[in-house]
Structure 1
Amino acid sequence: MLLKFSKSDILDSSLVYPETGALGFTILTRSHFIHAEERDSDTESESEATVTRRTIIADKRGLTVAEIGWDGRRPVVVIIGKEKVAVKEMFGSQSAILS
């Protein structure tokens, strides 16, 4: 099953079946960064807090099937269903950067 992106922005696009144009999945990434709540207030200042964003992949019914947590442009956590998958397994490198 090969799908194609409907837009060049792969972090905010749909995946469609090329032969029919039917929707397969929707990829949505928050357009703004949010400061992570999990920081050590004793050792990290507000400006040093990790900046994160989240990508959600939903099926054609709108149900979330996967999530990617980001630190800037670097994926740091991948969740498929209820299973956490190692970033290295998904992207081939622990330090993969999406440009």
Structure 2
Amino acid sequence: MGNPLLFQGIVVDCDLYGSKKPWEIWDEHSDKLFDCNQDLYVFTELKKIKPNGSRISRKLSTDSKGSWEGETKPKEVRGKLTGSVIGVLKKF
């Protein structure tokens, strides 16, 4: 989706808004986890509900009627070298 990840296997680059269902995404990347109870971390490009709006879509996959809901509040992830925000960690 952008630059290649420097740490393959820890965080996967994944289009959560594509045609795959959540369990298909999990199955595809579960071999990278140490055990089946471990969380899966992904980078994805967020999709807005309306092109000029600020609200983010929570609908996964194009043919799914389900959606996800956050379990935790977002937490900024900062780079060790610069201290600048490089991402947001949120559990769903």
Larger Rg: 1
Counting strand residues as a fraction of each chain, which structure ranks higher? 1
Same fold (TM over 0.5): no
- Higher RCO (CA < 8 A, seq sep 6+): 2
Scaled to the shorter chain, the TM-score interval is under 0.3
User: How does the TM-score come out when normalised to structure 2?
Assistant: 0.25
